[in-house]
Amino acid sequence: MKWLRFQGMAVVATLAIGSSLAACSSSSQPTANVSAANACWAKATSASECGGMAALVKAAKAEGHLNVIALPPDWANYGSIIKNFEVKYGISVNSENPNGSSGEELAAIKSQKGSGKAPDVVDVGPSFALQGTSEGLFTPYRVATWSSIPADQKSASGYWWDDYGGYISIGYNAGIFHNAPTSFNSLLAPQYKGSVCLDGNPESAGAAFAGVFAAALANGGSFNNIEPGIQYFKSLAKAGNFVPTGASPSSIESGQCRVTIDWTYLEAQYAVGLKGKVDWKVFVPAVGHYASYYVQAISKYAPDPAAARLWEEYLFSPAGQNGWLEGYAMPVELSSMIRNGTVNKQALSAIPAVSGTPSFPSLSQLTKAQQVIISQWPSV
């Protein structure tokens, strides 16, 4: 579901900005504890407001637990990230509904308000970050590395900030195609007949929607015009190259999908998971960059306000950022980490190379593109 949640992000988004966890959870249920002792942390917009990091660590340890939701352990390396956080601080992470969706995360904040089981933090798609902000569900906070997060990938008021994401990329079976593809247009060649897959249907799957958008950008389109992407897939289908089978490890291993258009971190996971079975190579096309990121926020009603803030500080420290990188996702502070030498170079080498700074479509551009896809894709 985390995978589907990321897929659906672009389709339902109102703005593009820019995964046995239960086995790690405490068996006991926490109780709401926003007392005078942690009242300062419940309102703190930075660690410095309540005594700095040492005070934050002390307060979080006193709370003793953190409530997270919708974080599958095999998604972006969250299993290891959570375990490392628990070991480092001695704080038990309670995982609720690990296969949940962004919408369910916001619903849990509302339905469990005042309960010790309520989510302290959320990891949601960008549209849900905006929804949660507009509904007053989040509290502002700026992590110590706030300045390392690009301005267009965070709320100026501190209500949300991007965490990790990826670019649309092209993966292919190098054991079959010795003349490797180099671009979207190269996939129109006869050698790719019956080979090219999207990750679902662009009418309902965000990864596929993003794939069409990337193809549009590679073929004279823009954030204002997704139609060239639809026409590209029309040509791909006419050539017999497009296969209406969803990209997955099983469809790749079976040979149904010999080329896939998908997020970088999923393509990288395919390569690792299929090692020894399929020689899977991945690249981000030089033309047609389309990126999307997940978003972090702290619940306004977090029962563990200090632990919530310590979690965010950990995620945006080199340990947390490299944790996502080790899960083949691009952490939002990657450029800064490369500059200051804190990046895990081995993990970085496993990520498909991409140059430039990501840009993102606006609310109106996304809405228009979605409408065009829904109206034209079925017939085209």
Backbone angles phi, psi at 119, to 5 degrees: -60, 135
The tokens for 22 are 């239960």
- Domain spans of the chain, in order of start: 2-164+292-349, 168-290
**Which pLDDT score is estimated for 363?**
73
**Which pLDDT score is estimated for 5?**
45
User: In the CATH hierarchy, which fold is given to the domain comprising 2-164+292-349?
Assistant: D-Maltodextrin-Binding Protein; domain 2 (3.40.190)
**Which pLDDT score is estimated for 35?**
56
The tokens for 47 are 């660690």
What is the CB neighbour count within 10 angstroms for residue 268?
22
Q: How far is CA 286 from CA 126, 163, 216, in A?
A: 25, 24, 13
Q: Which of 101, 143, 68 is nearest to 312 (CA)?
A: 143
The tokens for 329 are 């996702």
**Which pLDDT score is estimated for 4?**
42
**Which pLDDT score is estimated for 36?**
57
Do 168-290 and 2-164+292-349 fall under one CATH topology? yes
CATH class (in words) of the domain with range 168-290? alpha beta
338 contacts: CB under 8 Å, gap ≥ 6: 348
pTM for this structure?
0.81
The tokens for 94 are 């309670």
Q: Are 91 and 307 in contact (CB under 8 A)?
A: yes
Side-chain half-sphere exposure of 163, counting CA atoms within 13 A: 30
Element (H, E) at 250: helix 249-253
Q: What single string gives the DSSP state of each residue in 121-174?
A: EEEE-HHHHHHHHHTT-EE----TTGGGS-GGGB-TTSS-EEEEEEEEEEEEET
**Which pLDDT score is estimated for 26?**
36
Separation of alpha carbons 196 and 42, rounded Å: 50
Q: What single string gives the DSSP state of each residue in 179-236?
A: S---STGGGGSGGGTTTEEESS-TTT-HHHHHHHHHHHHTTT-BTTB-HHHHHHHHHH
Separation of alpha carbons 336 and 263, rounded Å: 22
The tokens for 34 are 């926003």
**Which pLDDT score is estimated for 196?**
98
Q: How far is CA 366 from CA 16, 198, 372, in A?
A: 8, 19, 10
**Which pLDDT score is estimated for 23?**
32
Separation of alpha carbons 8 and 11, rounded Å: 5
Residues in the chain with pLDDT < 70? Answer: 1-37
**Which pLDDT score is estimated for 8?**
39
Separation of alpha carbons 208 and 212, rounded Å: 6
Q: Are 325 and 348 in contact (CB under 8 A)?
A: yes
What is the CB neighbour count within 10 angstroms for residue 57?
19
**Which pLDDT score is estimated for 1?**
40
122-159 burial, b at 16+ Cβ within 10 Å, e below that, comes to: bbbbbbbbbbbbeeebbbbbbbebeebbbeebbbeebb
* Chain centroid to CA 236: 28
The pLDDT tens digits for 277-313 are 999 999 999 999 999 999 999 999 999 999 999 999 9
**Which pLDDT score is estimated for 101?**
86
**Which pLDDT score is estimated for 21?**
27
Q: How many residues does the chain have?
A: 380
Beta bridge partners, 297, equal: 122
Radius of gyration over every alpha carbon of the chain, rounded to an integer in angstroms: 21
Separation of alpha carbons 242 and 118, rounded Å: 45
Separation of alpha carbons 277 and 189, rounded Å: 25
Beta bridge partners, 280, equal: 173
**Which pLDDT score is estimated for 15?**
39
**Which pLDDT score is estimated for 125?**
84
